[in-house]
Amino acid sequence: MSGRVDVIGLGPGAEDLRCPRAALALAQATDLVGYVPYVERVVAEGGQRIHASDNREEIMRARLALQLAAEGARVAVVSSGDGGVFGMAAAVFEAMDHGEPGWRDLEVTVHPGVSAVLAAGARLGAPFGNDFCVMSLSDNLKPWTVILNRLECAARGGFAMAFYNPISKARPWQLGEALTLLRRHLPGQVPVIFARAVSRPEEAVAVTTLALARPEQADMRTLVIVGNAETRLIPRTGQDPWIYTPRSVGRESA
């Protein structure tokens, strides 16, 4: 029996937003590897061995997955959303790049999933209807100065933005500083959205503006979306407004 690694994007939460290809790879695995809450989300119907680990242990987790596969296991490495967007995919390839030479010959497949940014965008309308960027605000793995420069570049470029990892107990001030920087470059009425756990029972969405946005509106599980200067709201009675970014720039549309 030859081992393999399937890096699986579980999607944002709802069962029917998981791709059939990902669900099949999950069902065929002998071993499940992942961050505790994501592994818990997966019902190990096939009697898989479970290897759940803590947050911020991605490289150890990726090494374990490759090692198990080298021993013949069929390993599913699970991430929420899409494994390629601040999920486990990069960690698996980092571990392969710096690990045992034999790991490069292992069969590895990355199965895409609906990322939080796509799920949140769809929930709200079309905030990413024009050019956009996707960033992590965590300075655990990159200097804060790099993040500030990226924010400034994104604002100067007129990109809509999606922020993963906006805030945590260990990183309480970063989101506030990011919003302060953005207010120097963008109009105060630019829409800001706090989209928490979209498609899950605990989903919570709040729409505000750059001028009014407060860091306390986010937690670890919130995706923060900042529109560009042309992002528009369509009010609705009794519901959140639709939010969309026009496909055109600098001209009247429709």
- Sites for its own copies among residues 128-187 (CB under 8 A): 128-136, 141-143, 146, 149-150, 152-154, 156-159
For residue 175, the one-letter residue type is L
CB of 182 to its own copies, least distance (A): 14
CB-CB contact of 62 with 92 (8 Å): yes
Work out whether 227 is an interface residue with its own copies (CB under 8 A). no
CB of 139 to its own copies, least distance (A): 10
CB of 142 to its own copies, least distance (A): 4
CB of 189 to its own copies, least distance (A): 16
CB-CB contact of 205 with 196 (8 Å): yes
Q: Which of 13, 34, 125, 166 binds its own copies (CB under 8 A)?
A: 125
Nearest-10 crossing angle of helices 89-98, 58-70: 70
Give the tokens for residue 124. Answer: 């709200």
Q: Which of 10, 30, 58, 190 binds its own copies (CB under 8 A)?
A: 58
Give the tokens for residue 44. Answer: 């190990």
Q: Which is nearer to its own copies, 45 or 47 (CB)?
A: 45
Other Cβ atoms within 10 Å of 21 Cβ, number: 15
For 41, the 3-state DSSP assignment is helix
By CB under 8 A, the residues from 82 to 111 that bind its own copies are: 82-86, 89-99, 104-105, 108, 110-111
Nearest-10 crossing angle of helices 144-157, 174-185: 30
Q: Which stretch binds its own copies (CB under 8 A): 167-175, 178-186, 203-211, 234-242?
A: 234-242
